[in-house]
Amino acid sequence: MRILTIGRIVGLAAIGVAYVHGKRRGNLTLASIADTLNSLWSSASERFGLSHRPKSPIPERTVSPGSSASSSAGSSAANGLTGDRTRRPYSG
């Protein structure tokens, strides 16, 4: 048998994922295919004894004291911008 190239490996993996996805009666949506891939990855990691990395805590964003909502009373947009920008000169 020839040496497997990257294209052949990707093709065989795609056929395998499609087979498992059909067996799981998955829909043809990206979310369903992602769920199948997640299921395959978790079962393979359990089978091979790969340890799961602990999830690192996500730091919460804090509002700096100068940018509170009360200090931007003149803003009309939700992002705090006023909307009265000067237009760029048209050169054309």
| Domain layout of the chain by residue ranges | 7-48
Tell me the pLDDT tens digit for each residue of 46-67. 888 776 666 677 777 777 666 5
Which tokens is 48 given? 């091979």
pLDDT score recorded for residue 14: 93
Inter-residue contact 32 to 25 (CB < 8 Å): no
3-class state of residue 6 by DSSP: helix
Question: Which of the residues in the chain have pLDDT under 50?
Answer: 70-72, 75
Coil, helix or strand at residue 78: coil
